[in-house]
Amino acid sequence: MPEGDSVFQLSRRMQFMRGREVLATSLRVPSVALRDFTGRKVHRVWPYGKNLFMQFGDEILHTHLKMEGTWAVHPKGQRWRKPGHTARVVLDLAGEQTIEVVGHSLGLVRVFNEKDYGDQIAHLGPDVLAPLFDATTARRNIEAAPGRSIGEALLDQSNLAGVGNEYRAEICFLLGVHPAARVDTVDVDRALEITRRLMWANRNSPIRVTTGVRRAGESSYVFGRNNRACRRCGTRIVKAELGDRIIWWCPRCQPEDRRSPDR
């Protein structure tokens, strides 16, 4: 599932849509199939955590890539690279040449009025990649469940929006804590400082790097490195599950806390 920096970059690539008139609309999801933006201009396109928003007049299209979603842009009439049955959103936009903007296999497609935007994102915590990240609110959200694991707390989008499994693994390594460590044993302010620093540094980079090394196979400390030597101490990286997600950690650099998270 793409993380917040991937959606941030997607939004940046989609800025060409702004100011263009919609010539045709096809929303291929039953709940919004009758909504139509035709004749309206694209007012703006922006990310919030892992979510992408597009505004047409007073209506907002909210999409989420989930596991398999992608966006593609084609000149009108050009054959799509992905099969047509995967398209969930198709927008024809005016310009020197009519183009089709297609959202394939999107995990979420919703439409709501702009006045409801605040209510529609109220369930999300502060966006890590906002110009000013509200770390105080994020800390308060995380610390509200002191017996929960820090790994689960970082992935919870109601605490802070944008962190995915790769960042979760790297944040915990740099913090020196096991992903299953209880929140009340962790320096949450430090965790959030690392989170913001890592994601902000990668927000414009097509290659996600947490080690500072942009060579193939050297860009992460623990993520995806099961059974390989820790870059710091040489201990073999371990892989297991926490909840329904995979975790990676170094047993020496990230010793397991004896106090188990509440269940």
2, 126, 179, 261: the catalytic one is: 2
Active site (annotated) includes residue 47: no
Please give the DSSP secondary-structure letter assigned to residue 235. Answer: P
Contacts of 85 (CB under 8 A, 6+ apart): none
Residue 204: other Cβ atoms inside 10 A = 10
d(CA 93, CA 99): 5
Nearest in space to 22 (alpha carbons), one of 35, 6, 40, 47: 40
d(CA 111, CA 162): 21
For 12, the 3-state DSSP assignment is helix
239, 245, 251, 256: the catalytic one is: 245
Polymer length of the chain = 263
Active site (annotated) includes residue 83: no
Active site (annotated) includes residue 261: no
d(CA 136, CA 139): 5
**Residues 103, 73 contacting (CB under 8 angstroms):** no
**Structure token pair of residue 222:** 């623990």
Active site (annotated) includes residue 96: no
50, 88, 182, 208: the catalytic one is: 50
Q: Which residues are catalytic?
A: 2-3, 50, 245
